[in-house]
Structure 1
Amino acid sequence: MKTIKFFHPEETFVYYVEKCFCKVVYSGQQYQLLVEIHSTDDLDHVEDDAIQNNFPQVILSVDDFPVKFKSTDELSGNTIEIPQCYAEIEDEEGDISEFYYTNVNFSEDDFESDNNSLSFFKDQSGTLCLKWKGEVEDFTDESDDYIRFEVECAFSDFSKEERD
């Protein structure tokens, strides 16, 4: 079973992936990566007094991140680095807009995710897989500290698609 792990100083949080998808879309004259990974809310494997019980489900996402790839098939064998969760981009009129590329969501609360490294590969059956490593703001006490995380998931044929 594919997992999501957060390496909190007091305990390692382990979640199981319920569903995930990966798309490369063409928008605004560029190709963009979209990834979304949902955990189950099953915590039967967690001790009763564990901090993780306060965070029963997590959703990780990459939205609208510009990539050079035109399809999900081109992702395999490549690593995409997203060092900052957002970027400030100036348009033709000189207005600056913030674009948030990575996000970690616990119970409707969003947290920034930095130092992201997304490594794509295909397993023995040819299924596109992802190993994502990064750091998220400490969601347990909302401090300025960061918690390392790792995600491993496999995208089935219906969870990856392209559109123009």
Structure 2
Amino acid sequence: MKTIKFFHPEETFNYKIEKSLCKVVYQGDKQVLLIEIHSTDELEHVEDDSIQNEFPQLSLFIDDFPLDVESAEELNGKTIEIPYGFAEEEDEDGELHEVYYTSLNVSEEDYEVVGNKLTFSINEKGVLSLNWKGQVQDFTEETSDDIPFEINCTFEEFEFKEEDYD
């Protein structure tokens, strides 16, 4: 099942996943994780008075998160925690830069995603699957609290190759 659920205090938002991508790439001097998950804009299952109607489509991203995995076999059975949406990293010149690891894009606005726990497995069809739990800023602006979410998806076509993104 490919779904995204946001557990908003007023209602649960349910999204269907249109496309998803998972890559492990070699960047600079480290392996990094790249994930993209995009919802459909289909809202037939949503009540007319739902807050979700104002947010028909969204995308979640993990970019440049360093990890110690080089192959698909190594992701299977692995749990990865990403506590914060960004970190400060030092470049070759000793300059500090903010690197954003996780984000949610809704209506062309980006929101920080925190408390991420990603659990990977290979399903019965031999396809890489992901269960991702975390929290995101309330993009509906109905509350000042973070909203918990959960994603269950598979990566029908996933790639694990070394690329240099310099």
TM-score bracket relative to the smaller structure: over 0.9
CA RMSD in angstroms, aligned pairs only: 1.3
TM-score of the two chains, using structure 1 as the length reference: 0.95
Asked if the contact 2:19/2:37 (under 8 Å) is kept, the reply is: yes
- What's 1:129 paired with? 129
CA positional deviation for 1:110: 0.5
Provide, for residues 44-98 of structure 1, a one-character-per-residue CA deviation record: whole Å limited to 9, x for no partner: 0000010000000010110000000012331010000000000012234332100
Q: 1:97-108 counterparts in 2 under 5 A? A: 97-108=97-108
Q: 1:80-119 counterparts in 2 under 5 A? A: 80-119=80-119
Q: 1:37 to 1:92 in 2, by over 3 A?
A: same
SS of 1:32's equivalent in the other structure is: strand
CA positional deviation for 1:32: 0.2
SS of 2:49's equivalent in the other structure is: coil
- What's 1:161 paired with? 160
Look up the equivalent residue of 2:161 and give its one-letter code.
E
Structure 1 residue ranges (4+ consecutive) displaced by more than 4 angstroms after TM superposition: none
Report the Cα distance in structure 1 between the residues aligned to 2:113 and 2:147, rounded to whole angstroms: 9
- What's 1:61 paired with? 61
Report the Cα distance in structure 2 between the residues aligned to 1:101 and 1:159, rounded to whole angstroms: 19
Instruction: Structure 2 unaligned segments of length 5 or more: list them.
Output: none
Report the Cα distance in structure 1 between the residues aligned to 2:32 and 2:50, rounded to whole angstroms: 38
Look up the equivalent residue of 1:109 and give its one-letter code.
E
User: How many pairs does the alignment contain?
Assistant: 163
CA positional deviation for 1:160: 2.9
Provide, for residues 6-29 of structure 1, a one-character-per-residue CA deviation record: whole Å limited to 9, x for no partner: 000000000001110100000110
Report the Cα distance in structure 1 between the residues aligned to 2:91 and 2:158, rounded to whole angstroms: 33
SS of 1:52's equivalent in the other structure is: helix
- What's 1:27 paired with? 27
Q: In percent, how many aligned pairs have the same letter?
A: 56
- What's 2:37 paired with? 37
